[in-house]
Amino acid sequence: MAFSSQTPTIVVLKEGTDASQGKGQILNNINACLAIQDTLKPTLGPFGSDILIVSSNGKTTISNDGATILKLLDIVHPAAKMLVDISRAQDAEVGDGTTSVTILAGELLKEAKTFIEDGISSHFITRGLRKANELAVAKIKELAVEVKKDDPAEFRQLLERCATTAMSSKLISKNSEFFTQMVVNAVLSLDQNDLDENLIGIKKVPGGAMEDSIFVDGVAFEKTFSYAGFEQQPKRFTDPKIVSLNVELELKAERDNAEVRVEQVQDYQDVVDAEWKIIFNKLEAIAATGANIVLSKLPIGDLATQFFADRNIFCAGRVASEDMDRVLKAVGGRILSTCSGITSDDLGTCANFEEVQIGSQRYNFFKGCPEAKTCTLVLRGGAEQVIAEVERSLHDAIMIVKRAVSHNSVVAGGGAIEMELSKYLRDYARTVAGKQQLIINGYAKALEVIPRQLCENAGLDGIELLNKLRSAHAKGEIWYGIDFQRENVGNNMASFIWEPALVKINALESATEAANLLLSVDETIKNEDSQEGGRGRGAY
């Protein structure tokens, strides 16, 4: 009896599973990431263009913020989603550089693609990229200029310059002088120990010009839902006492809460009287505290509103949780869940309170707060898309200033630090033998994508300016970068084009990590849903 020596085929994966592997798979992943890079390249720098994104439900967004664009793009390629993740991570960690980190990661992969096609092992490439990244990060730390915090005026100038640089590529670049002051004031108003940017409230009011935006050193929130009697209440106080409640001051029909069985009409009246007595006891207890302003997270009904109006007390019910939290941070006191036993320690205060008309809406302003660890930016603009982009731009600038406060070392922007790192890595590569020299050289070449793309987006001659930059850096001009004012190269440190060193370090580390992760993947297994009567692809 003859036995077949051929091994039988064993099917492990479900029918319809798509498995592709090897060098072709790595190249496929790199090409997907390069397509993402091409989308973002035109948005880089002061002369970068904006992208109009229309979602499936017809909502339009205009932005040149890398993280925002990638979040709104419907990316299906699994490898390309890696770039979305590093962009979001950069946004969460330092707030700016979201486009740079994606472009750098794409360029590192483009350099690696050549080596992969030449047959160099992907593990060998990742080792070289890691080594180059370590050298680059160490060099940034060595070159970074630390600005002393001892002189408040000098330190404020550092923060303003970092904010101006962060805004240079945004919609608000033409109004950067106005918004720079607003951003720096906002960050400096926070508790300098934890710098929680969530305590900077941002409110958007359509209409007016961008420079009609208001910085409030305290809390501002939109007028809440109000009942009859609200207009009789005073709308301005000096040194008011403020009570913050989590109590509902509204008459509820008894049928809402319980079923009451009565035998006589008088019994029913007793129930109603008891309910009125309860709410009046609450209101009188509040009035007895001497409070001028009553805020509550829960509704304040028409009876309470009129009661307070008769006693020249201002009230606002249904205050949003985040607004109430910021009020407490600013005015002091504490939030109360009962109206009895309120002491003077439970009340907050501020220098001025007023209700202000802004555009078509009315806002409550609490200014001159003794505990001011919060502030509010009221943004104006002609269209909702414009205000939304102003908000994103200010968020980036706020995050940059926040990082500059906690890490006060800076480097020059405009491609200066990238060109210096490129020159340093090329010099180092000459001291390394073997293929590793090629990888480190490739990393150095990839770094030049930032100044090259800045030139391209500004309509300048990239080849000529890059040659000038290489020449300047070879002569020891470490802070030479693209100077857009003169359309030439120049000392960007002297021109005050500054960025926190942390932004550059984080961008390089994230981009290298993403490139290494993608290069280490050489097989993709994709499970497809069964279709057409339950038979997967390839079934017969």
How many C-beta atoms lie closer than 10 Å to residue 236's C-beta? 12
Cβ neighbourhood burial of 475 (10 Å; 0-12, 13-18, 19+): exposed
Residues 6+ away with beta carbon under 8 Å from 231 = none
Amino acid at position 466, single letter = L
The rounded distance, in Å, linking the Cα atoms of 389 and 405 is 24
> Active-site residue among 65, 91, 96, 325?
65
The rounded distance, in Å, linking the Cα atoms of 351 and 127 is 61
Domains of the chain: 18-145+411-526 (1.10.560.10), 148-217+378-407 (3.30.260.10), 219-371 (3.50.7.10)
Residues 6+ away with beta carbon under 8 Å from 468 = 488, 489
pTM of the model: 0.75
Residue 535 has pLDDT above 70, yes or no: no
> Does the active-site annotation cover 524?
no
Amino acid at position 24, single letter = G
Amino acid at position 453, single letter = Q
| pLDDT 10s digits, 505-520 | 999 999 999 999 888 8
> Does the active-site annotation cover 102?
no
Q: What is the pLDDT of residue 530?
A: 45
Question: Which of 134, 111, 135 has the alpha carbon at shortest distance from 122?
Answer: 111
> Active-site residue among 99, 102, 180, 376?
99
Amino acid at position 277, single letter = K
- Residue 512's φ and ψ, nearest 5 degrees, are -65, -45
Please state, rounded to an integer, the average pLDDT across all residues of the chain.
Answer: 84
Average pLDDT over residues 468-484: 90
Residue 39 has pLDDT above 80, yes or no: yes
Q: Comparing 152-156, 225-229, 252-256, 463-467, which segment has the lowest mean pLDDT?
A: 252-256
Q: Are 21 and 524 in contact (CB under 8 A)?
A: yes
Q: What is the pLDDT of residue 8?
A: 59
Which pLDDT band holds residue 261 (cuts at 50, 70, 90)?
A: confident
> Active-site residue among 91, 323, 325, 396?
396
Alpha helices in 145-259 (DSSP H): 152-167, 176-188, 254-257
> Active-site residue among 61, 98, 376, 512?
98
Q: Return the SS3 of 95.
A: coil
Amino acid at position 423, single letter = K
Which pLDDT band holds residue 373 (cuts at 50, 70, 90)?
A: confident
> Does the active-site annotation cover 310?
no
Q: What is the pLDDT of residue 536?
A: 35
**Dihedral sign for Cα atoms in the order 237, 240, 246, 247:** negative
> Does the active-site annotation cover 224?
no
β-strand pairing of 498-500 with 409-412: antiparallel
